[in-house]
Every structure is written in C-alpha cells, then in structure tokens.
Amino acid sequence: MISTNIKAKLAGGSAIRKMFEEGNRRKAIYGEDNVYDFSIGNPDLEPPKEVSEALLQLASNPTPGMHGYMSNSGYESTRALIAKKRGDESGLTIGPDAVCMTVGAAAALNDVMHSLLDPGDEVIVLAPYFMEYNNYIENHNGKVVIVQTGDDFMPDIEAIRKAVTPKTKAVIINTPNNPSGVIYPESVLKDLNDMLATLDHVVHVISDEPYIDLVYDGGSVPSVLKYIDNLIICFSWSKSLSLAGERIGYTLVSPRNADYEDLTAAIVLCNRTLGSVNAPAIWQKVIEKSIYAKVDVANYEHRRDLLYSNIVDAGFDAVKPSGALYIFMKTPSGLSDTEFQDICAEENLLLVPGAGFSRSGYMRLAFCVSESSIINSRKAFYAIAEKLNIPHRA
C-alpha cells in the first residue's frame, strides 16, 4: 500500500495539470484550433541558435570522458562562468564554489530545503506563489507558512516579520513572479533585507529565478544578490533558453551569507544523496557556450500584449505582467474562481483558478501558446463577457 501522504496528494492532484488534461480531451473533440488552453506554462519557443550550435559541436567533437562522472557540484569551468556572470551583475566577487549545478530549479529547491530543514522548521511563501513549493518544503518535513502580498502583489514586509517564529528557516521569493508577473523593485528587496537583519536568528532568502531573463517593456530585474545578504539562488534555464525538458539549473549561495561554508557543502551533499548525483554533463557544456543567449523575448512580449488586449477589451480586469509568462486576470465580481472557470470552459477557454496559487479571486493564463490561439480566443472572451452582462471596452 502506498503512503497515506502520497495517497492524499494523488487525490488532490494539481489544478494546472487537471486543466492541461482537460485541454487535451477537448482538443480531441473540438479540434486544436477551437480550444484555447492557457493552463500550463510550457515554453513553446525553440531554444536560441547558440544552444543548437553548441549541442551539435559537442556531439560532433566529443572530449574523451565527456559523459562521465564529475564533481557532484558540476564542472568547475561551468560553475566559474556562472559565478562570473552573476558577479558582474551584482558587483560581488563570487567563486565557483558558490555554485552547484542541479537538475533544474526543482532539484535546486529540494537540495536547499534538505540542507536547511529539520522536522517542523518553517518556510514562508508569498502568495500568490507556485504551488509546488508546498511539496518541496513538505518533502523535507518542513511547514509551509503562507503570507499574502499586497493588492499590487508586492511583499508585505511587516506581514512577513509577524509570520517569523523561532522555527522560521527561510522565505521564498520569486521575481518576476509566477503567477502575477510582477517584478520586485530594489526598494522592496532592501526593505526585506533590513527587516531580516533585525531578527535574532538567520532567516535565509531563497530566490527562485526561472523567469529573470523574461522581462518586458524595456525593464530589468534588480540583482537580488546585490540587496539580500543571506541569499540562496535557485535558477533554471527552462524558460530563458526553452530547455524545460532538459532539466538544467543551479544553486548559488551568496558570499555574504552567514552560513556560506556550511551551505555550499550541504547543498552539494544533498545533490548527491537526493539522487541527482550531478547535473547532466552535456548540458553543462552547452550552457558554457550559450550562457549569454536568450529566447526571443520580444515574441513573448507581443503575445502578452495580444492576450492582455483580449482580456481588457472584452471588459475584464487583469494585471499586465512586467515579466514571466502569465497574466493574472481578476475573477468577475459575484463568481467564485471555479464557477468562472466552468463558464470559460463552456467556450473552450481553459484557465487555472487563483486558488491554485493561494490567491482566490484571480485566474492565471499562460501566454506561451501559439499566436493564432491567442488571436482566435478573442471571440471566446467576448462571448463570456456577454453571458455575464459585462460591457466591452473595445
């Protein structure tokens, strides 16, 4: 018999995955062009040419032993390049030992949780947030403490302070944020660091950063390394290089972290003992050759604009994201998230309720879908608005 814990998780499932499966079911019935599935953030752009060229070069000219074991932390040459890049961005001197190559950001977060948490230790998460954080924390016998952000989805520093207890080990931040798309400004990062510095024990900030290269309107993401002292970064190239299926990322411990020596050693140990052993060898070498490349961010920005226009022109309200791959749309007044989800599904428009991110009253839409799907969905938004007697804006 499987564990009681896993049995409960199977029964609960994932709202995102459920909508993804519903999308596949509807596409089989109505045709792919007639179903507008905005449920899952699966990056659909191809990797930039630097990635393809590097992979071809490595396959054509293999180095002896290229596919063998290396240090559990990864190739030093890869880690040194990452350390230099993040050092240049932050103004800090960062050595390769700060970096551990991981099997994507999910493995990175699990390595960090395993390194930090004793049973019953607490991790603060800022709602709305990526709900897999719950599993990553609970995997290592930790306790999730949810703190709501403000109406603008910015961290409420005082609310975080009030949530801290002697058992608090970390706060997870995610900027640009999934699902809201907001970017935390320097002032918020400074205020968070200043507040944490007043506590009587170290509380680490875990910065989950899969979206830092997906920024729109000429904006930028402030370097969290520059403003947060007791910081641990968890990064993935899933979105910036469209390598979600290849599972390649890293952790980086700030050289200013009070537990730097212990943490860097612990994360490498956990990378091995949790079963990853090391990050994929060939993808580490690909990253060395394409570390400054990005997917076509302008393409995503264009699609964001198209989908945002569909939503607001039809009469609905939404947050226009500054980064990431999602629009957080307000649920119309008088309806629950699930009620509105069902109404949208009648028009083959598939969205994920905000409750799945611990923020009811909103729906998440991923715009990493085809442009034609976004354009064709416009009529569905208008039809739904008409059903609900919501006046169009355009």
CA distances from 349 to 19, 33, 57, 281 (A): 10, 12, 43, 41
Tokens of 356: 């799945």
> What pLDDT score does 175 carry?
98
Calpha distance 237→284 (Å, rounded): 11
> What pLDDT score does 63 carry?
86
Calpha distance 243→241 (Å, rounded): 5
Total of domains in the chain: 2
Per-residue pLDDT tens over the stretch 261-297 = 999 999 999 999 999 999 999 999 999 999 999 999 9
Whether residue 353 has a cis bond before it, omega within 30° of 0: no
- In terms of domains, do 300 and 279 share one? no
| Mean pLDDT confidence for 367-382 | 97
Q: Which residue in 250, 227, 249, 252 sits closest to 238, CA to CA?
A: 249
- In terms of domains, do 359 and 243 share one? no
In this structure, the number of other CB atoms found within 10 A of the CB of residue 76 comes to: 14
Full-model pTM: 0.96
**Residue 13 falls within a domain, yes or no?**
yes
- For residue 14, pLDDT beyond 70: no
- In terms of domains, do 129 and 27 share one? no
Backbone angles phi, psi at 300, to 5 degrees: -60, -40
Asked whether the beta carbons of 41 and 179 are under 8 A apart, the reply is: no
- For residue 30, pLDDT beyond 90: no
Q: Which amino acid is residue 305, in one-letter code?
A: D
Residue ending a domain, among 290, 321, 337, is: 290
| Mean pLDDT confidence for 126-141 | 97
Q: Which amino acid is residue 243, in one-letter code?
A: L
The dihedral through the CA atoms of 291, 85, 226, 252 has a sign that is positive
Q: Which amino acid is residue 111, in one-letter code?
A: D
- For residue 251, pLDDT beyond 80: yes
Give the CA radius of gyration of the chain.
21
Tokens of 212: 């830092």
Q: Which residue in 32, 37, 24 sits closest to 352, CA to CA?
A: 37
> What pLDDT score does 123 carry?
99
Between residues 90 and 12, the one the model is more confident about: 90
> What pLDDT score does 178 carry?
98
What whole-number percentage of the chain has pLDDT above 70?
98
Calpha distance 266→113 (Å, rounded): 10
> What pLDDT score does 20 carry?
67
For residue 231, the surrounding DSSP H or E stretch is strand 231-236
> What pLDDT score does 15 carry?
62
Asked whether the beta carbons of 101 and 284 are under 8 A apart, the reply is: yes
**Residue 52 falls within a domain, yes or no?**
no
Residue ending a domain, among 290, 310, 331, is: 290
Indicate the pairing of strand 122-127 with strand 168-173. Answer: parallel
- In terms of domains, do 167 and 299 share one? no
- In terms of domains, do 363 and 300 share one? yes
- For residue 334, pLDDT beyond 70: yes
- In terms of domains, do 170 and 21 share one? no
**Residue 54 falls within a domain, yes or no?**
no
- In terms of domains, do 170 and 285 share one? yes
> What pLDDT score does 367 carry?
98
| Mean pLDDT confidence for 204-222 | 98
**Residue 57 falls within a domain, yes or no?**
no
| Mean pLDDT confidence for 96-121 | 98
| Mean pLDDT confidence for 83-101 | 98
Tokens 């990853």, residue?
276
- In terms of domains, do 174 and 262 share one? yes
Residue ending a domain, among 270, 290, 310, is: 290
> What pLDDT score does 13 carry?
67
CATH number of the domain that 40 lies in? 3.90.1150.10
- In terms of domains, do 73 and 13 share one? no
Calpha distance 216→300 (Å, rounded): 9
> What pLDDT score does 392 carry?
96
- In terms of domains, do 220 and 102 share one? yes
Tokens of 147: 């703190």
- For residue 160, pLDDT beyond 70: yes
Q: Name residues whose C-beta falls within 8 Å of residue 234's C-beta, 6 or more positions apart in sequence.
A: 102, 105, 108, 109, 112, 206, 207, 208, 209, 249, 250, 251
| Mean pLDDT confidence for 210-231 | 98
- In terms of domains, do 200 and 326 share one? no
> What pLDDT score does 248 carry?
98
- In terms of domains, do 123 and 235 share one? yes
CATH number of the domain that 71 lies in? 3.40.640.10
Q: Which long-range contacts (CB under 8 A, 24 or more apart) does 146-154 make?
A: 146/358, 148/358, 148/359, 152/182, 153/128, 153/177, 153/180, 153/182, 153/319, 153/328, 154/182, 154/184, 154/188
Q: Which residue in 318, 320, 319, 322 sits closest to 297, CA to CA?
A: 322
Average per-residue pLDDT for the chain:
95
SS3 of 124, please? Answer: strand
Per-residue pLDDT tens over the stretch 58-72 = 999 888 888 999 999
DSSP codes joined into one string, 32-59: GGG-EE-------SPPPHHHHHHHHHHH
Domain coverage including residue 138? 62-290
Calpha distance 206→290 (Å, rounded): 25
**Residue 180 falls within a domain, yes or no?**
yes
Asked whether the beta carbons of 99 and 79 are under 8 A apart, the reply is: yes
Per-residue pLDDT tens over the stretch 174-199 = 999 999 999 999 999 999 999 999 99
What whole-number percentage of the chain has pLDDT above 90?
89
> What pLDDT score does 11 carry?
75
